[in-house]
Amino acid sequence: MQSYEMLKLENQLCFPLYATAKEVVRLYTPFLREVGLTYTQYIAMMVIWEKRSLVVKELGKLLFLDTGTLTPLLRKLEQKGFIQLSNLPEDRRSILINVTPEGMKLRDDAVEIPLKVGACVQMDSEDAKLLFELTHKLLNQITKGDASNA
Amino acid sequence: MQSYEMLKLENQLCFPLYATAKEVVRLYTPFLREVGLTYTQYIAMMVIWEKRSLVVKELGKLLFLDTGTLTPLLRKLEQKGFIQLSNLPEDRRSILINVTPEGMKLRDDAVEIPLKVGACVQMDSEDAKLLFELTHKLLNQITKGDASNA
DNA sequence: ATAAATTACATTGTACACAATGTAATGAGG
DNA sequence: CCTCATTACATTGTGTACAATGTAATTTAT
């Protein structure tokens, strides 16, 4: 009887984590739409803006996403003209991602987004820092010893 | 130039939140599969186990999910025999969800799941409590003043 | 009582997300 | 060199998630 307590939604840690992540992504949506990106495309572009050039496997490792998600996503980014996909000569199994000039121009439009979203949230910086650290800690804990990270 | 710093993945709070939630859900998957549920079906069943009987709108409000997600999900739970859907006589627009005896039996199989997942995580209870509180705080902040909550 | 607004849910279309499987290229061992 | 395991990505199928739209029932305002 007592053990059913652990099956109550209100006693779960996973649920507020799941729901909050979902609602935060939803907060981004209207701002991202203005620049023609989805949330997942946005975090992919963040990596691509910084690296300029990288391979799909590398991107997947950074975003914790597999090729079943990335393959169609990258094709959409290519269709929109933000990236260019090509074969890596050194290893013809790999796909190289390169940002285009339009892709870099997009960054100038996107640069306001973190501020705009931040303005909607009103979380004090101490809580934000704590939440940042705790989620990173948990993420590292979970994905450590993960075979897919080998 | 400096402002591009805010577009780095590593400086985002949203990303570890998004990735952690995703990976935590993934942790549940093998255990949930043993009892024939997906994660979303599981959190829905948690509410249904506790309430025994409730209307779709109520469930949606508790889970932060809309009918586009819930309608097909509830039909699958009905097909599996865990719930029964019917019209509410007092308001024929509403759909009433009732748990079946098999649905209640499922709870006995599911009762081990929080423990099994907890064993995979190794987060000390202080951090877990903090993370629980911070995500709840942020979730309330975001969904406050939300028209869809009216 | 009746037109108009609202509400509860259903449907459609787009986009993840991932397990499972497939395929071609690379690398390792003999 | 050749076989075999591994790797990087592609494909398929299932299941969310949600915006936008549709529909029928209820409520509100007149």
**Cβ count within 10 A of residue A2:** 5
- The mean pLDDT value for B50-78 works out to 98
- Please report, to the nearest 10 degrees, the dihedral formed by the alpha carbons of residues A72, A77, A83, A88 taken in order: 0
State the pLDDT confidence band at A150, using cuts at 50, 70 and 90. very low
Q: What is the pLDDT of residue B74?
A: 98
Size of interface A-B (CB pairs under 8 A): 168
The residue with tokens 């997600």 is: B69
The answer to whether B9 contacts chain A (CB < 8 Å) is yes
| pLDDT surpasses 50 at B148 | no
Å: B83 CA to C2 C1': 40
Structure token pair of residue B34? 């043993």
Instruction: Output b/e per residue, B63-89; b: 16+ Cβ within 10 A.
Output: bbbeeeebeebbeebbeeebbeeeeee
Mean pLDDT in residue range B129-146: 91
Q: Range with the lowest mean pLDDT among A3-12, A48-57, B41-50, B88-97? A: A3-12
Give residues 106 to 125 of A whose Cβ lies within 8 Å of B. Answer: 107, 110-111, 113-115, 117, 120-123
Average pLDDT, integer, range A82-100: 97
pLDDT computed for residue A148 by the predictor: 42
- The predicted model gives B73-90 an average pLDDT of 97
pTM for this predicted structure: 0.94
The answer to whether some atom of strand D lies closer than 7 Å to the beta carbon of A90 is no
Of all residues in chain A, the percent with pLDDT exceeding 90 is: 92
